[in-house]
Amino acid sequence: MNVERFQYDDDIVRKFMWATLIWGLVGMLVGVIIALQLAFWQGNMGIPWLTFGRLRPLHTNAVIFAFAGNSIFAGMYYSTQRLLKTRLFSDALTRIHFWGWQLIIVSAAITLPLGYTTSKEYAELEWPIDIAITLVWVVMAVNFFGTIWKRRERHLYVAIWFYIASIVTVAVLHIVNSLELPVAFLKSYSLYAGVQDALVQWWYGHNAVAFFLTTPFLGMMYYFMPKVAEGPIYSYRLSIIHFWSLVFLYIWTGPHHLLFTALPDWAQTLGMLLSLMLIAPSWGGMINGLLTLRGGWHKLRDDPIIKFMVVAITFYGMSTFEGPMLAIKSLNMLTHYTDWIISHVHGGALGWNGFLTFGMAYWMIPRLYNTKLYSLKLANVHFWLGLLGILTYMISMYISGLTQGLMLLDFDAEGYLVYPTFIETVATIIPFYWLRLFGGVMYITGLIIMLFNLLKTVSGVKAPADMEAEAVPFKRTTLKGKFHYILEAKPILFTILTIIAVLIGSVIEIVPMLAIESNVPSISNVKPYTPLELEGRDLYIREGCNNCHSQMVRPLRAETERYGDYSKAGEFVYDHPFLWGSRRTGPDLHRIGGKYPNLWHLRHMEDPRAIVKESIMPSYAWLLTDTLDYGNIKAKVEAMTKLGVPYTEADISGAEAALKRQAAEIAADLSESGVQGMEDKEITALIAYLQRLGTDIKE
């Protein structure tokens, strides 16, 4: 028998594993900082790049793409080599992948706090970084599929299917959602507008959860859970059903982020129904993971790694039950825009992604260094601190979300809103923000203990040479058997079928939205933004206002009473990108235009507490002193024209003059109120934008 000897590339797995833990610490630390700022608004110390609006995208990007991303690559590279019985395709590509990905993370850590953002959630990075992500992803994909090509194991194990689905789908999602027109080195506008942009964004956003935070982790679950449990997966048959139904159904569910919005009802209903159906495959996966431990549950008593894994899968099950429930319109009406959603996502992120990563790290690192874990006791302490941290975090956010949601919908016997001002609801939930902070600190303390434990584990230990292995190469003979038996040995066909499975839902939802005009009824009154409003909109994006304020009045009585007429699809046709938001830490702003005088906005941005005593909004005093940079205004108006916004040639050539004219008008108004010298300040542009919001169809 011809046995070939080779070595696994374990050095790259070590690199990705340490990157996971270091970036995890950074990402979670930023999370703790912004959690503090919600409880204690002074937490940003008056520094623009430390404000919630700028740091929140950094937090989400760091935990998703840096922490979870590196964790995926570590787990994927470790398991793929062993499942395919081969070294990774190319050492050079592997290193380009590693360093390229770290460079992207560093770029994000620099640009996001500086306010360079597209505003689209989990896709905030600007176009040059988007291109870098695409290139690094392609490098990784070539390396991964190259490894499959040179494999010695003919059939692909289920973990590999999930990696394939993740790699191809994330590529599709990233490219389609990131289509944008650059106007400067770090500034671009989304190709899509308003409702269409919202649909594409949440098709991407929810499937970032699906194909970045779920499917690759399921792949790792299918590898590491049997390893840790020391037994085969419960039902390989179930894994087949799990895989195909999950990848087919998940892609449809994005519209459940847009229930009761201006998105056409058919798309909302489709999103809701498919989200409900998703319970079945998700729970199939959870059951398959948990039952892998059947007969070995006693190990939970002593083995912290199994504890981490089992709790991770349990959180996966809870999140994937809660998600579909939240996608039901009648519950979504209450929970959307509240902290309930924050609780839900952290159950998934901290419980599922975090704990699976920790379990994997505790399992892998001693093996990668050919040593033993320094302290099982510390690992147990980490487990309990982490678990209690998650529960504290989630329970406080459940109470907070439920409280605020109910208060916002409450009417008295006479039919008036019981809490007409938004701030009353915010003031009520502040204690829970402190509790959430406490939960977050517990969780990150656990991570620090883990880092100490693992550093002690490897201290004084020289990283061993790559592990030797041997395997018999498979002969390419004709396979006979059932369809899936053959399919598992045909990676190209498998990949094509996976792409088809994810494209069906994508095409059915997105193409009609882009192609059929009646989905976005036009409103003749709606006009493009003036140049100054456009600059103000860009400042709104730069400061991340959309992280706390929605621009979408839902057709619910409580909302129309509180904010004004509900938002219509036709009002957003010139919004590149859309700015509907997903969480209301502050009130909705879609009908804010004309509601207050210019001076109100100026004073409110300068010191929110001067206007609303209990406000937790940061002070944006620098907007009153910083000069507006309108050097790119002509390019911006031109770019908008290319995107279909009906500016005339005169609008483009006269953009700068028009901007100055409108700024002078606002400055004159402010001057009458006693505030001088605002014509060239950033605040003037922001006021122009805010005063325009929702006024096109206002009576």
Partner 1 sequence: MLKNVISQGNFAIWPSISLVIFTLTFLGILLWIYRKNAAKHYHDMANMILDDDCKQPETKNGR
Peptide bond into 577 cis (omega under 30): yes
If one asks whether residue 284 binds partner 1 (CB under 8 A), the answer comes out as yes
Residue in this structure with the two tokens 């619910």, named with its chain if needed = 556
Q: How far is the CB of 76 from partner 1 (least distance, A)?
A: 15
Between residues 296 and 597, which has the closer beta carbon with respect to partner 1?
A: 296
If one asks whether residue 128 binds partner 1 (CB under 8 A), the answer comes out as no
DSSP characters over 120-158 = STT--S-HHHHHHHHHHHHHHHHHHHHHHHT-S-SSPPH
Which of 28, 63, 112, 293 is close enough to bind partner 1 by CB under 8 A? 293
Closest CA to 564 of 694, 690, 421, 411: 694
Residue in this structure with the two tokens 């036009």, named with its chain if needed = 522
d(CA 418, CA 98): 54
Closest CA to 346 of 27, 39, 9: 27
Which of 238, 273, 526, 635 is close enough to bind partner 1 by CB under 8 A? 238
Q: How far is the CB of 93 from partner 1 (least distance, A)?
A: 23
Q: How far is the CB of 492 from partner 1 (least distance, A)?
A: 19
If one asks whether residue 154 binds partner 1 (CB under 8 A), the answer comes out as no
Residue type, 669: D
If one asks whether residue 300 binds partner 1 (CB under 8 A), the answer comes out as no
**What's the CA angle centered on 689, arms 688 and 691, to 5 degrees?**
65
If one asks whether residue 152 binds partner 1 (CB under 8 A), the answer comes out as no
Q: How far is the CB of 478 from partner 1 (least distance, A)?
A: 16
Between residues 104 and 368, which has the closer beta carbon with respect to partner 1?
A: 368
Which one of the spans 155-163, 186-194, 197-205, 268-276 is the region binding partner 1 (CB under 8 A)? 155-163
Between residues 254 and 281, which has the closer beta carbon with respect to partner 1?
A: 281
d(CA 297, CA 517): 57
If one asks whether residue 488 binds partner 1 (CB under 8 A), the answer comes out as yes
Q: How far is the CB of 240 from partner 1 (least distance, A)?
A: 8
Tell me the β-bridge partners of 182: 188
If one asks whether residue 552 binds partner 1 (CB under 8 A), the answer comes out as no
If one asks whether residue 654 binds partner 1 (CB under 8 A), the answer comes out as no
If one asks whether residue 568 binds partner 1 (CB under 8 A), the answer comes out as no
46 to 75, contacts with partner 1 by CB under 8 A? none
What is the helix (H) or strand (E) element at residue 636, kind and residue range? helix 633-642
Between residues 488 and 682, which has the closer beta carbon with respect to partner 1?
A: 488
Closest CA to 383 of 366, 412, 361: 361
DSSP characters over 233-259 = -S-HHHHHHHHHHHHHHHTT-GGGGGT
Which one of the spans 38-46, 230-238, 408-416, 551-559 is the region binding partner 1 (CB under 8 A)? 230-238
If one asks whether residue 372 binds partner 1 (CB under 8 A), the answer comes out as no
If one asks whether residue 149 binds partner 1 (CB under 8 A), the answer comes out as no
If one asks whether residue 481 binds partner 1 (CB under 8 A), the answer comes out as yes
Which of 77, 89, 101, 223 is close enough to bind partner 1 by CB under 8 A? 223
Between residues 273 and 345, which has the closer beta carbon with respect to partner 1?
A: 273
Which one of the spans 123-131, 236-244, 414-422, 496-504 is the region binding partner 1 (CB under 8 A)? 236-244
Closest CA to 362 of 348, 350, 376: 376
d(CA 209, CA 625): 40
Which of 95, 150, 152, 155 is close enough to bind partner 1 by CB under 8 A? 155
Closest CA to 309 of 369, 420, 224: 224
Number of residues that bind partner 1 (CB under 8 A): 30
If one asks whether residue 218 binds partner 1 (CB under 8 A), the answer comes out as no
Q: How far is the CB of 628 from partner 1 (least distance, A)?
A: 53
- For the chain, the distance separating the N- and C-terminal CA atoms, rounded to the nearest angstrom, is 84
DSSP characters over 628-677 = P--TTHHHHHHHHHHTT----HHHHHTHHHHHHHHHHHHHHHHHHTT--S
Cβ(662)–Cβ(688) below 8 Å? yes
If one asks whether residue 512 binds partner 1 (CB under 8 A), the answer comes out as no
Which one of the spans 20-28, 189-197, 227-235, 551-559 is the region binding partner 1 (CB under 8 A)? 227-235
Residue 413, classified by CB atoms within 10 Å of its CB into exposed (0-12), middle (13-18) or buried (19+), is: exposed
Q: How far is the CB of 79 from partner 1 (least distance, A)?
A: 9
If one asks whether residue 237 binds partner 1 (CB under 8 A), the answer comes out as yes
Between residues 153 and 533, which has the closer beta carbon with respect to partner 1?
A: 153
Q: How far is the CB of 276 from partner 1 (least distance, A)?
A: 13
Which of 73, 137, 234, 252 is close enough to bind partner 1 by CB under 8 A? 234
Which of 39, 83, 441, 645 is close enough to bind partner 1 by CB under 8 A? 83
If one asks whether residue 660 binds partner 1 (CB under 8 A), the answer comes out as no
If one asks whether residue 364 binds partner 1 (CB under 8 A), the answer comes out as no
Q: How far is the CB of 231 from partner 1 (least distance, A)?
A: 4
Residue 646, classified by CB atoms within 10 Å of its CB into exposed (0-12), middle (13-18) or buried (19+), is: exposed
d(CA 648, CA 630): 19
Q: Can you read off the two tokens belonging to residue 619?
A: 């002070």
d(CA 79, CA 73): 10
If one asks whether residue 157 binds partner 1 (CB under 8 A), the answer comes out as yes
Residue 663, classified by CB atoms within 10 Å of its CB into exposed (0-12), middle (13-18) or buried (19+), is: buried
Closest CA to 82 of 233, 221, 223: 223
Between residues 84 and 639, which has the closer beta carbon with respect to partner 1?
A: 84
Between residues 82 and 150, which has the closer beta carbon with respect to partner 1?
A: 82
Which of 17, 68, 200, 233 is close enough to bind partner 1 by CB under 8 A? 233
Cα→Cα distances 86→89, 145, 466, Å: 8, 12, 12
Q: Can you read off the two tokens belonging to residue 118?
A: 């597209």
d(CA 467, CA 9): 8
Q: How far is the CB of 293 from partner 1 (least distance, A)?
A: 7
Q: How far is the CB of 237 from partner 1 (least distance, A)?
A: 5
Which one of the spans 93-101, 167-175, 234-242, 667-675 is the region binding partner 1 (CB under 8 A)? 234-242
SS3 state of residue 625: coil
Q: What is the dihedral of CA 166, 169, 172, 177, to 10 degrees?
A: -80
**Using CB under 8 A as the criterion, which residues of the chain lie in contact with partner 1 when the complex forms?**
82-83, 153, 155, 157-158, 223, 226-227, 229-238, 241, 284, 293-296, 367, 469, 481, 485, 488
